[in-house]
């Protein structure tokens, strides 16, 4: 059953179109019949209670999990059966919630690792381009990633993914374990700017109120399905999202999460 949708203005043409996605583990579906699109210049937010299937959906899109049904189309090309590396080559960047950097390597080495698919002679130029976008990382280039603060480390994880120059960037809970101030800086200072520069952003976020501040469109998931979708403006004005989470099984800590 498709998600209920609200109006809210025209959307960008889809760069990513995931249709009727069904996926899970050991051939047991966790998400079922999920539709989702992301256009260039959009920040598309996926929210829902713990166990809703958000991370499973992301893994199905990136190729970490096989599809049990549905299609994934990227820039008009069906990549439903493409391997994870091939999807990355076609323009998907992914920053996981954890394991987004190599802690025993320097910042410079982490960035260069992000360009491992590029010819060696081009990697340095790609790293320099990314450092222009993230100038706070430049003086940290010789430091080990494990010595960075939480915000610096998350910025490095995003920058490392951008060395490969993806047009679609998927961020799985990028503000996890960050202070509210640093979390806001990551979303407003980094994610907003990437979308403004024409990238398609798919954002999975547990800090609902904070995620909604940057979202142009959003999907609400529960029980492995999308239940509702609307523009960011409409979701920000929605007084009932907290009770929606409670109704659909996300009882633990939802009020605090919703307050951001």
- Secondary-structure class of domain 4-91+167-259 per CATH: alpha beta
pLDDT at 237: 86
pLDDT of residue 6: 56
Predicted confidence at residue 166, as pLDDT, reads 95
Q: Which two tokens stand for residue 188?
A: 């407003």
pLDDT in tens for each of the 260 residues of the chain?
Answer: 456 655 556 799 999 999 999 999 999 999 999 999 999 999 999 999 888 999 999 999 999 999 999 999 999 999 999 999 999 999 999 999 888 999 999 999 999 999 887 788 888 899 999 999 999 999 999 999 999 999 999 999 999 999 999 999 999 999 988 999 999 999 999 999 999 999 999 999 989 899 999 999 999 999 999 988 999 999 988 766 655 554 544 433 333 333 33
Specify whether the CB–CB gap between 71 and 20 falls below 8 A.
Answer: yes
First to last CA, the chain: 30
Per-residue pLDDT, 50: 86
Look at the pTM and tell me if it is higher than 0.85: yes
* pLDDT score for 258: 36
Concatenated DSSP letters of 34-53: EEEEEETT-EEEEE-STTSS
Residue 257 has what pLDDT?
Answer: 37
Give per-residue burial for 70-92: e unless 16+ CB within 10 Å, then b. Answer: bebbbeeeebbebeeeebbeebb
Q: How is the chain split into domains, by residue range? A: 4-91+167-259, 104-165
Say if CB 70 and CB 223 are below 8 A apart: no
């Amino acid at each position: 059953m498709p998600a209920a949708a609200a109006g809210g203005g025209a959307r960008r043409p889809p760069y990513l179109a995931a249709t009727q996605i069904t996926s899970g583990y050991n051939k047991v579906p966790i998400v079922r019949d999920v539709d989702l699109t992301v256009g260039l210049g959009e920040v598309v937010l996926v929210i829902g209670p713990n166990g809703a299937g958000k991370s499973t959906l992301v893994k199905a899109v990136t190729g970490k999990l096989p599809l049990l049904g549905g299609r994934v189309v990227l820039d008009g090309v069906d990549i439903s059966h493409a391997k994870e590396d091939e999807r990355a080559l076609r323009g998907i960047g992914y920053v996981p919630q954890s394991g987004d950097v190599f802690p025993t390597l320097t910042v410079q080495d982490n960035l260069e690792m992000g360009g491992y698919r590029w010819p060696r002679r081009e990697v340095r130029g790609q790293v320099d381009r990314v450092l222009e976008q993230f100038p706070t990382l430049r003086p940290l280039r010789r430091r080990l990633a494990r010595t960075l603060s939480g915000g610096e480390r998350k910025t490095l994880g995003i920058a490392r993914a951008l060395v490969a120059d993806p047009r679609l960037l998927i961020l799985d809970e990028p503000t996890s374990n960050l202070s509210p101030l640093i979390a806001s800086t990551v979303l407003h200072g980094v994610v907003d700017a990437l979308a403004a520069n024409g990238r398609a952003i798919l954002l999975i976020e547990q800090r609902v109120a904070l995620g909604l501040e940057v979202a142009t469109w959003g999907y609400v998931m529960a029980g492995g399905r999308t239940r509702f979708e609307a523009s960011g403006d409409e979701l920000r004005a929605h007084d009932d999202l907290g009770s929606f989470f409670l109704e659909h099984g996300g009882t633990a800590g939802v009020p605090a999460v919703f307050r951001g």
